[in-house]
Amino acid sequence: MKEQLVEISRNVLQECLGLQENELFLVVTDDVKKDLGKSLYEAGKLLGAEAMLVVMKERKKSGEEPPASIAAAMVQSDVVVCITEHSLTHTQARKNAAASGTRIATMPGITEDMFLEGAISADYSKVKELTESVTELLTKGELVRIEKDGYTLSFSIAERDGIPSTGMYLYPGESGNLPSGEAYIAPVEGTANGQILVDGSFAGIGRLETPLLLTIEEGKIVRAEGSAAEKLLEILGDGDGRLLGEFGIGTNDKARITGVVLEDEKVFGTIHVAFGSNNTFGGTISAGVHIDGVVKKPNFCIDNQLIMENGSLK
């Protein structure tokens, strides 16, 4: 099994990150994910890179910064993989490293199962093509309206740029999740109103046994209903963590809903909304937390044009 993990890691490093001989390659991991981290480190050595492995204490929640010394090492590296329990995607450390030219893949919550099958096994050139065309729709759009089981949520995305997470980070400063396949955007703060039924999964909670109904007024969750409602509000806190920070669309046809949001939010035929920080991708919210919730088979329109119907992209 370990040999298989190292071999898959080697393919990922070559195809998705273009890791070259003698490049400075850093694996950032924590106590929970260090065994998978070691597979990536071994794969980096096999490719002739100057491989380094750094293990930190598990963060308390997604969006929490790593220690300053790790953030500095990320800036100094050519390629970084963050394989941690909680996400470093929406941190200043990731943003600063990308700005300095580092190629970065974040793998929050990834499991051995996800390494061996599912989203990581997609044809990433196909994923890239679809992701880029959906991203263009977001960038050109002004108003999003999501409808699911009779509940609707609408918000502005005017003058915001869509972000492609294609799974291929081959040029300096490119970064995103692995496995990947999503296009996402920061909604304009304060513009979201309505209700959304989240029935797939939520980061920090896992796969949802029963749906969560969220009521949003002026961009902020004012009410959550469902068996996991209390836990969600506790994770988000009382402040800016409750603000709508992201709208995303899954574009990976090999991804499955597993309860790990890293894969769940990439599932073709789903959308996701996230609450909390979006200042790392074009928004203004800095909340120290970023929590995604996945919606299965919704309808959504951009500027009154139907883009997805019952999970099927038009």
**Could you give the CA distance from residue 258 to residue 14 in angstroms, rounded to a whole number?**
26
Beta strand pairing status for 220-225 and 212-217? antiparallel
**Could you give the CA distance from residue 243 to residue 277 in angstroms, rounded to a whole number?**
8
Q: Alpha helices, DSSP H only, in 154-276?
A: 229-236, 261-264
Q: How many residues does the chain have?
A: 314
Residue 162 is predicted with a pLDDT of 98
Q: Which amino acid is at 47?
A: L
As assigned by CATH, the class of the 2-116 domain is alpha beta
**Could you give the CA distance from residue 21 to residue 262 in angstroms, rounded to a whole number?**
29
What's the pTM value of the predicted model, to 2 decimals? 0.84
Residue 202 is predicted with a pLDDT of 96
Q: What are the Cα distances from residue 192, in Å, to 73, 201, 221, 257? A: 38, 21, 10, 26
**Secondary element (H or E) of residue 82:** strand 79-83
Burial zone of 96 (CB within 10 Å; 0-12 exposed, 13-18 middle, 19+ buried)? middle
Residue 44 is predicted with a pLDDT of 98
Q: Which amino acid is at 206?
A: G
293: its two tokens? 């919730």
**Could you give the CA distance from residue 166 to residue 182 in angstroms, rounded to a whole number?**
7
Whether 72 contacts 92, CB under 8 Å: no
Dihedral angle, C-alpha 194, 199, 203, 206, nearest 10 °: 160
Residuewise pLDDT in 10s, the chain (314 residues): 789 999 999 999 998 999 999 999 999 999 999 999 999 999 999 999 999 999 999 999 899 999 999 999 999 999 999 999 999 999 999 999 999 999 999 999 999 988 888 888 888 889 999 999 999 999 999 999 999 999 999 999 999 999 999 999 999 999 999 999 999 999 999 999 999 999 999 999 999 999 999 999 999 999 999 999 999 999 999 999 999 999 999 999 999 999 999 999 999 999 999 999 999 999 999 999 999 999 999 999 999 999 999 999 98
Residue 120 is predicted with a pLDDT of 86
DSSP letter (8 states) at residue 241: G
71: its two tokens? 């953030």
φ/ψ (deg, to 5) at 118: 85, -145
The separation between the first and the last C-alpha atoms of the chain, rounded to the nearest angstrom, is 40
The residues pairing with 104 across neighbouring beta strands, listed in sequence order, are: 80, 175
- Give CATH 3.40.1830.10 domain extents, the chain: 2-116
Residue 45 is predicted with a pLDDT of 98
Residue 282 is predicted with a pLDDT of 96
